Chain A
Amino acid sequence: MHEYDNIIIGGGHNGLICATYLARKGQSVLLLEASNTLGGLAASREFSPDFRVSVAHSLSHFSEAVSKELRLADHGYSPCGEILDTVGLSLDGQHVVVSGDQISGVNASDTDNYGSYLATLKRFAGALKPFWMKTMPRIGTTRLSEIITFGHLGAKLRLLGKKDMGEFMRVATLPSRDLMDENFDSDILKAVLSWDGLIGSKMAPRSPNASVLNMFYRMSGQHDGAHFLPSGGIKSLIDALHGAALAAGVEVKTGAEVNRVVIDSDDTGLFASGVELSSGEFIKSACVVSSADPKRTFLNLVGARNLEIDFVNRINRLRSDGYVGKLHLALDSLPKFHGVDNPASRMIIAPSLDAIEFAFDDAKYGEYSESPVMEIIVPSVKDISLAPEGKHVLSAHIMYLPHALKGGWTEAARENLYQKLIGILELYAPGISGQIIDGEVLTPADLETTYLNTGGHWHHTELSMDQMLMMRPTYEAAQYSTPINNLYLCGAGSHPGGGLMGGPGHNAAKEIIGTKKKA
């Protein structure tokens, strides 16, 4: 007899979501989280005494379906939090502000074009929307449900109409630079609108591949890609997911790092039969579901020798080096950005597409950017619980920082980077350096060490054409099941991908339940 029907490896949002769906079907579920806090990259982090923040600092496309089906509202999550304006900071204070379908700070032509640009993108994003929360069909599938999905996808694109379908095919893999240059004049506006297609990936504005497709993905949420903060902050989402999991009967263990997936064999081949914790404890389970990234799951937890030769070489080839770092500052008062009354928005420091491109050029050759670009939020403006009264937290995503810095992330390199970042902030928020009580920089290497995501990659592995949809993370593991019987994936390395979205956890649970029904 097995101890559990399911063991979920990893207590990030996808692990929690998958666990909850399975438990709601009456299955016994044990969720194991290596760290002492749930939430993965969205976990609350006390980086300085009484100052808290999470690496993921806003929401853009968290699944409404998951939110409703798991009744997250009953557990304290309010999805209708305030939409954040996105502000492209300008040194002269003439900022560009994107507020839903309104923009300001640009010329009349840009203002005009923005309307039609947004409408087109919404149409394209809408065509793809049904497919993020679905298992993608297996290549060469004979399963009727999967063939229907293929047909549905084709029909959705065709229903865009002849012109739009052609335009969709043209635009989807376009470098975002081309899309921006076609539409706009303002350098800052172009940088701001490209931002969400680039961040988290090893892509810059001139990189062809999937930056525009990434925009469509992030537009799948209820606010068409606009970022927002739930009223209780990111923490309220993780707490609600935890609450829903417990209510559904999920047993949650933190501080329980999985050392390996236990592999057994019978006539049909190898199968997962449980896990071994780093404490040495064995726990048996009929089914093991990993929300860890594909490399960690297959190479570290399962072991290459238990897999097929070409398959495991494909896993090893997955591009999983993260390029986004994090700056956290504890401030003694509200930072004053030049020309910004209240820093309650999402602020982007990227004066032009070239600035982003040059920052990428440094990083792709193993250096950190001489002039990094960044996205800043002061979450304590909305959520006073994050800092002591009157004090504030600044949270910034930094691009681009290589996971493997030439010469390594030495103390000197980190200090140099930190000073560089403060220097840039000082230009836009004069006096900020005098407000700093404490601060930390998290490089992709730090993210990997702390959150056990290979390469410190936001999305576990690049969200790029060759690693998307029925190719994510790679064929033969793209439908959540794996070549090892009873072992499933449910993390950001699976379709639809990363970000605080919940698709992988939701889709994996549906797949597992479907498989068990048939068995």
Chain B
Amino acid sequence: MTSSQVDIKDPFAGERLKESPFHPRQALLNLRDAWSSWNGYKFADYYYDEEYEYFCIRNSCATYDICPMQKYVITGPDAEAMLNRMVTRDISKLKENRVTYVCWCTDEGRMIDDGTIFKMGPDRFLLTCGSPSLAWLRKSTFGFDQLEISDVSDSLAALSFQGPTTCEVLKKMGLVGIEDLKPFCISYFSLGSDDNNRLMVSRTGFTGDLGYELWIEKAYALELWDKLYAAGEDYGIQPYGEAATNMARLEAGFIMPGMEFNEALKTVHYQYDQTPFELNLDWLVDFKKPHFNGRSALLEARDQGAEYTLVKLDIEGNKPAEESFLYSDKECSKEIGYVTSAMWSPVVKANIALAMVMTSALDGDIWAEIYYSKELRHHSKVAQCTFQTHPFWSPKRARATPPGLY
């Protein structure tokens, strides 16, 4: 018997990365085979070229596979009370068919994760977040008996569709009235092939631009893809990966776990995680709410003031200040912080960064010690940084309803 006759079983079958419902189409377009992974899914870093994909987001339209995102449907009379005790924001004010950005903290007020809550009905919510959170959710439900959590991460397919021409493409696809959908609102459409394929569209995204997120049962994922790509053909629709997402979100000033914050439940070193105040998320913490997890610790943290504060920096020159230390003087004698994310922003035409800076040093000069290399030779420079209070990129079209024509 030769080995070719042996029926070869994959010994690592259980360890292979899962494929998203959009994978058959995305694999065809992943010319570079640039796969990495997210939550156990095969997931593209980029498909063709990260800069090209970034420009698609900013100038036409592009899709980002968010199937690997964690999605939990929480239903029942206690659902709202449970979520409201878990997150720092007051979601009792959230209206039906609206979405809100939230974060949740440990008892000690350290940030576990951020995410979005969709109110789909009076007792029905969808919670989405970057990392698996079922264990914390289950802990959080202790004492709330009238609710059910179902993890729909694998069954609910989702595609983020971002860029200035997205509304036009969706209109062309037949989503009548999509232009009236306001930011952070939800609307439902039928794809038409049978009664079950209800498409949920939320005007949300992670790029700071005009954009939508499309949610559908995974059985209809390819049908959605094909209809969207047919409608978007003339608009140069293109999938984008993690690399372009990271550029777009940095321009929008959005934080990323593993970059700006370390998830508290995975943090080993004491206080190497963050409070929402350190991350400039004060507006997410609603002390008018009498009780939520971490409230008393956060009250103390607020009164004490954050040691570090996340800031947006505009840095002179064009060398990205990746992983730079920050100083209060050009001589780099007093260290005051560190850069968490940095890039040359093509759309803003600026050298931008997010950085953690000691709150006490925010009033003074900020200098970045930048290391870069040129044809294998390493160089360093010290560049002055300017504080930015507003997002680097925040076009009116992201908020206008109906969005303008592009």
A185 to B360, CA, bound (A): 70
In the complex, the chain B residue whose C-beta lies closest to that of A315 is B142
A450 to B299, CA, bound (A): 42
Are B296 and A483 closer than 8 Å at their CB atoms? Answer: yes
Are B299 and A303 closer than 8 Å at their CB atoms? Answer: no
Checking A269, A270, A312 against B143 with a beta-carbon cut-off of 8 angstroms, the contacting residue is A312
A310 to B105, CA, bound (A): 11
Are B139 and A313 closer than 8 Å at their CB atoms? Answer: yes
The yes or no answer to A299 lying at the interface (CB within 8 A) is yes
Are B142 and A313 closer than 8 Å at their CB atoms? Answer: yes
Which residues from chain B contact A305 at a C-beta distance below 8 Å? 81-82, 85, 143-144, 291
In angstroms, how far is the closest chain A Cβ from the Cβ of B80? 12
In angstroms, how far is the closest chain B Cβ from the Cβ of A295? 12
Which residues from chain B contact A299 at a C-beta distance below 8 Å? 143
Which residues from chain B contact A312 at a C-beta distance below 8 Å? 142-143
Which residues from chain A contact B85 at a C-beta distance below 8 Å? 305, 309
Checking B81, B290, B294 against A308 with a beta-carbon cut-off of 8 angstroms, the contacting residue is B294
Query: A residues 300-353 with Cβ under 8 Å of B?
Result: 303-313, 316
Which residues from chain A contact B386 at a C-beta distance below 8 Å? none
Are B86 and A309 closer than 8 Å at their CB atoms? Answer: yes
Residue interface mask B121-150, A partner, CB < 8 A = 1 = 000000000000000100110111000000
Are B293 and A269 closer than 8 Å at their CB atoms? Answer: no
The yes or no answer to B41 lying at the interface (CB within 8 A) is no
The yes or no answer to A411 lying at the interface (CB within 8 A) is no
Are B144 and A269 closer than 8 Å at their CB atoms? Answer: no
Residue interface mask A277-307, B partner, CB < 8 A = 1 = 0000000000000000000000100011111
Are B107 and A310 closer than 8 Å at their CB atoms? Answer: yes
A483 to B136, CA, bound (A): 20
Are A265 and B291 closer than 8 Å at their CB atoms? Answer: yes
In the complex, the chain B residue whose C-beta lies closest to that of A271 is B290
Are B107 and A308 closer than 8 Å at their CB atoms? Answer: yes
Residue interface mask B287-321, A partner, CB < 8 A = 1 = 10011011110010000000000000000000000
Which residues from chain B contact A307 at a C-beta distance below 8 Å? 143
In angstroms, how far is the closest chain A Cβ from the Cβ of B271? 12
Chain A residues touching B, range: 20 to 34
The yes or no answer to B384 lying at the interface (CB within 8 A) is no
In angstroms, how far is the closest chain A Cβ from the Cβ of B170? 39
Which residues from chain A contact B107 at a C-beta distance below 8 Å? 308-311, 476
A303 to B78, CA, bound (A): 14
Are A304 and B299 closer than 8 Å at their CB atoms? Answer: no
Which residues from chain B contact A316 at a C-beta distance below 8 Å? 142
In angstroms, how far is the closest chain A Cβ from the Cβ of B301? 14
The yes or no answer to A267 lying at the interface (CB within 8 A) is yes
A246 to B295, CA, bound (A): 40
Are A309 and B140 closer than 8 Å at their CB atoms? Answer: yes
Contacts A310-B106, A483-B296; A303 near B290 (Cβ below 8 A): no
A427 to B392, CA, bound (A): 89
In angstroms, how far is the closest chain B Cβ from the Cβ of A44? 37
A510 to B142, CA, bound (A): 33
Checking B81, B287, B293 against A309 with a beta-carbon cut-off of 8 angstroms, the contacting residue is B293
Contacts A268-B299, A269-B295, A269-B299; A304 near B290 (Cβ below 8 A): no
In angstroms, how far is the closest chain A Cβ from the Cβ of B145? 10
Contacts A267-B287, A268-B299; A308 near B293 (Cβ below 8 A): yes
A313 to B136, CA, bound (A): 11
Which residues from chain A contact B86 at a C-beta distance below 8 Å? 309
A299 to B143, CA, bound (A): 8
In angstroms, how far is the closest chain B Cβ from the Cβ of A487? 13
Contacts A306-B291, A308-B107, A310-B107; A269 near B296 (Cβ below 8 A): yes
In angstroms, how far is the closest chain B Cβ from the Cβ of A317? 10
Residue interface mask B80-102, A partner, CB < 8 A = 1 = 01100110000000000000000
Which residues from chain B contact A304 at a C-beta distance below 8 Å? 142-144
In angstroms, how far is the closest chain B Cβ from the Cβ of A386? 44
Query: Given A305-B291, A309-B136, A313-B139, 10 other A-B contacts at CB below 8 A?
Result: A267-B287, A269-B290, A270-B291, A305-B81, A306-B291, A308-B107, A309-B106, A309-B139, A310-B106, A313-B142
The list of the 7 closest CB pairs from A to B, nearest first, reads A304-B143, A265-B290, A308-B107, A310-B107, A305-B143, A309-B293, A309-B140
22 intermolecular pairs with C-beta atoms under 8 Å apart: A265-B290, A267-B287, A268-B296, A268-B299, A269-B290, A269-B291, A269-B296, A269-B299, A303-B143, A304-B143, A305-B81, A305-B85, A305-B144, A308-B107, A308-B294, A309-B85, A309-B86, A309-B107, A309-B140, A309-B293, A310-B107, A483-B296
- A residues sitting closer than 8 Å to B (CB atoms) are 265, 267-270, 299, 303-313, 316, 476, 483
